[in-house]
Amino acid sequence: MSVIAVKIKIMPESPDTSIDDIKDNVNKILKEQNVQNPNFEIQPIAFGLKALVIMFGWPEEKELEDLEEELRKIPSVSSVQVIDIRRAIG
């Protein structure tokens, strides 16, 4: 079973949106999906807008689109974008 390293950027609808609320919802979804080693980073964009960037291990044979769809359903999320996928060694 191979693992890929995935990096996803989640953009909130506005600068007033609580990035911590989005992070909590994302964390719940990741736990349900048995995601390996999630790492969260808050990245400033512009004018007070911040993106949530998540990096985690994902089984290569499992579809990533289902996870993306679940993340898009989180309230106050404007967009979900996979920004990097790499094959992990090990």
- Could you tell me the two tokens for 42? 């808050």
CATH topology of domain 3-87: Alpha-Beta Plaits (3.30.70)
User: Tokens 């359903």 correspond to what residue?
Assistant: 73
- Could you tell me the two tokens for 58? 């994902």
Output the pLDDT for position 83: 97
Domain coordinates in residue numbering, the chain: 3-87
Output the pLDDT for position 14: 94
Distances (CA, A) of 48 to 16, 19, 53, 74, 76: 8, 11, 16, 20, 16
State how far the Cα of 77 lies from the Cα of 12, in Å rounded to an integer.
4
Output the pLDDT for position 87: 87
Per-residue pLDDT in tens (0 to 9) along the chain, 90 residues: 688 999 999 999 999 999 999 999 999 999 999 888 899 999 999 999 999 999 999 988 889 999 999 999 999 999 999 999 998 765
State how far the Cα of 16 lies from the Cα of 50, in Å rounded to an integer.
10
What's the pTM?
0.90
